[in-house]
Chain A
């Protein structure tokens, strides 16, 4: 049994390209999953760009430098954060008739069932996770760069 402290230390200094490759894979899947959520707020070009940035992590991990890897992860952080903010502040673009009902409290707008569904909460959580994960990986790569510098100085 590793224990919480040892596990935390291992997570903070996790080496190897495995998690970069998994992150890239999940990034592409996430971009694909947002297709059709709202074509106005999340146009295909934006999702394609997001997916491409995530996919670019694979070749850069294999053939690129650590500096490039950190920079592409930071770009992914910004794009994921942008999509997250748009999603969290998103209002449905509906142009439908507004119905009112007369009740004991007077005239009230009819409930159109537009509250956030469970799926929305999971989409939002996934976006928050993607942003934080990209940030963690960028920080990890940055620390690896500094550590390499320490041993070569």
Chain B
């Protein structure tokens, strides 16, 4: 095989290898960038999850405090009603 016959093979092989090298490098870089973006996104999601958990705990505590306050208020109302009844009874006794 002469050099003239080999030349098209060399040009085809080198040209294809060069173009493929460029394209595969570009694809690899894009893939690595996507992986990095995914990692950043995962970090952000973790922080967000932590915040949501913390807020959820706070909300549970607020709800439980509110329920306790309602219970105490209802106890106070009952005591007040009882005291009112006693006062009325004493007033009636005094009038007699």
- With contacts defined as CB atoms under 8 Å apart, how many contacts are there between chain A and chain B in the complex? 54
A82 interface hit (Cβ, 8 Å): yes
**CB-CB contacts below 8 Å: A124-139 with B:** 131, 135, 138-139
**CB-CB contacts below 8 Å: B1-25 with A:** 7-9, 11-13, 15-16, 19-20, 23-24
Q: Are B12 and A142 in contact (CB under 8 A)?
A: no
Interface range, A side: 20 to 34
Q: Are A78 and B16 in contact (CB under 8 A)?
A: yes
A9 interface hit (Cβ, 8 Å): no
Residues of B within 8 A of A153 (CB): 35
Please, could you name 23 A-B residue pairs with CB atoms under 8 Å apart, sorted by A?
A: A74-B16, A74-B20, A77-B19, A81-B11, A81-B12, A81-B13, A82-B12, A82-B13, A84-B12, A85-B8, A131-B16, A135-B16, A138-B23, A139-B24, A142-B23, A142-B24, A143-B27, A143-B31, A146-B30, A147-B31, A147-B34, A150-B34, A153-B35
B residues neighboring A (CB under 8 Å): 7-9, 11-13, 15-16, 19-20, 23-24, 27-28, 30-31, 34-35, 38
